[in-house]
Structures are given as structure tokens and as C-alpha cells.
């Protein structure tokens, strides 16, 4: 049985057909990538501040050598995400003074002149130098903010009156 190369191997026609097929496949792949990229929402930069306006301890207890505090925290956001939020904070302070936090926050926010409620899930830590590092992720958004996706980061002194945030966001529309 002859292979295609044996049958057409040295002909210019086969080489031209093969080159045309490869070029067509590459063109289709590039066009598909361009269309998919254009259809996806662009990630926009987010910058601003988060400032605590009220902190209420709901309960405190020991878990081994750790001190656990459950807090209700109210904050004000400025910048890309602007509004007020209420947070439920699970704060675990270790014997060395460092702490780990798990937080759920609900913000009545405005983003790009759209208003609604954004729910964030957060993980944070406070190191021995008093620097808080926060990773916030949008887990839900309602109202005109429906479809909002994003992540915000904070790294600043915990005792500062307001911590700056940076991040990226997009709308699913």
C-alpha cells in the first residue's frame, strides 16, 4: 500500500496542498482565539482604601493556646469599590502574636456607577510586624452589580486608619 508521501511525495502539488492546509488551520486557530478574547470581559484595575469604622466583639474563647474572637466589623470603602460594608470576622490569635482571619463581608457598593450588594470571601493574616495581608474574592453580587467578578488584595500596617487595596474585576455582561 502506498503512503500519501510515496504517492505525492515529490510533487509541488502535494507540498502546496499541505502548506495551504496548515495555513488554514493556523488562521482558524488565531481567529478563534481573537473572537474568544473579544467576547470575554476585560479585567479592569481596582484601587482604593478600606477603613474600619466600628468593631464589635461578639464572643471570645480559647482553643488550645490560641485566642479566638468572633467580631462584627463595619468598614467604608473608597475608590473603585465605594460604599459601606459589614463583616463577620473569625480571628484566631496565636501565642506568638500572629493571627489568621476568615471573613465574609457584604458591601452596599458602587462600581462603575452601578450599585448593588457585593459579597466577599476573605482570608487574611497579621504577621509579627503588624502587617495585615488580605485576599478578598467576590463570591456574589446583586442589583446592577450582578455578574461582577473580582479579587482585591491588601498589604499594609494593621493599625493604619485605612488600608489601600488593589486588584482586578470584570462584569460578566
Cell of 21: 492546509
What pLDDT, on the 0 to 100 scale, is given for residue 12? Answer: 52
What is the chain's alpha carbon radius of gyration, rounded to the nearest angstrom?
26
Whether this prediction's pTM lies above 0.85 is answered by no
Size of the chain in residues: 173
CB atoms under 10 Å from CB of 41, counted, come to: 13
Calculate mean pLDDT across residues 60-65: 97
3-class SS at 127? coil
Q: What is the mean pLDDT of the chain?
A: 85
What pLDDT, on the 0 to 100 scale, is given for residue 141? Answer: 97
What pLDDT, on the 0 to 100 scale, is given for residue 42? Answer: 82
| Spatial contact of 164 and 132, defined as CB atoms under 8 Å apart | no
pLDDT band for 160, please (50, 70, 90 cuts).
Answer: confident
Amino acid at each position: 500500500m502506498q503512503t500519501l508521501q510515496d504517492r505525492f511525495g515529490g510533487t509541488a502539488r502535494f507540498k502546496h496542498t499541505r502548506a495551504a492546509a496548515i495555513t488554514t488551520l493556523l488562521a482558524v486557530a488565531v481567529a478563534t482565539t481573537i473572537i474568544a478574547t473579544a467576547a470575554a470581559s476585560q479585567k479592569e484595575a481596582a484601587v482604593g482604601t478600606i477603613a474600619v469604622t466600628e468593631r464589635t466583639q461578639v464572643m471570645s474563647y480559647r482553643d488550645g493556646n490560641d485566642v479566638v474572637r468572633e467580631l462584627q466589623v463595619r468598614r467604608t470603602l473608597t475608590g473603585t469599590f465605594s460604599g459601606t460594608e459589614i463583616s463577620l470576622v473569625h480571628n484566631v490569635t496565636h501565642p506568638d502574636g500572629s493571627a489568621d482571619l476568615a471573613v465574609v463581608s457584604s458591601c452596599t457598593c458602587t462600581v462603575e456607577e452601578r450599585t448593588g450588594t457585593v459579597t466577599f470571601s476573605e482570608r487574611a493574616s497579621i504577621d509579627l510586624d503588624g502587617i495585615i495581608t488580605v485576599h478578598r474574592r467576590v463570591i456574589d453580587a446583586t442589583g446592577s452589580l450582578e455578574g461582577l467578578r473580582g479579587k482585591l488584595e491588601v498589604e499594609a500596617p494593621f493599625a493604619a486608619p485605612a488600608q489601600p487595596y488593589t486588584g482586578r474585576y470584570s462584569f460578566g455582561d
